[in-house]
A = this chain, B = another copy of it.
């Protein structure tokens, strides 16, 4: 109890926790997190809508008939739509949860932990879906002469433009998820006494 005998010693408070971060800093981080989650929702919704509306029917001269390009024809694009839909739904839930704990710094520490855990999983899902759709879209764009897969983007321009746009938005959603995990980690780190 040596320290209790020296209340005026400048070293006295060395072991005490630093003052908690000002509420404004916590709220700023929360506002940023909510903004990113709203962006994630917008990106996921856009990506899904753009792919779902990509279907195109065209007269193929070589075949002498009308042929359809549909996203449902490719399991990769179906996976992409499902994954981005899950991410969109997740962003709605977490936006509401973020808003509900914005003014409760104590509760928000627990939420930061849970958000970081789930954000990482959703990032894995969105990144893999972007990769899957991107890989197949690239074959559609360039073809692969080694295995005889013909390119289709010379015939189905609207379909491919929709795909490209959707992939760009999905890549943006992945970046937003990375930022969200970083923000959670950074916020948790900021609450550790130095």
Chain A residues close to B by CB (< 8 Å): 1, 4, 7, 15-17, 68-70, 73-76, 109, 112-113, 116-117, 120-121, 123-125, 127-136, 138-140, 142, 144, 146-150, 152, 174, 178, 181-182, 184-186, 188-189, 191-193
Contacts and interface: CB of A to CB of B under 8 A. Distances in A.
B17 A7 contact: no
Contacts of A73: 144, 146-147
A74 B144 contact: yes
18 contacts: A4-B7, A73-B147, A117-B182, A120-B178, A120-B181, A123-B123, A123-B124, A127-B131, A130-B131, A131-B134, A132-B134, A134-B135, A136-B136, A147-B150, A147-B152, A185-B185, A185-B188, A188-B192
Contact of A129 (B116, B117, B131, B188): B131
A186 to B, nearest CB: 7
Contact of A4 (B4, B120, B182): B4
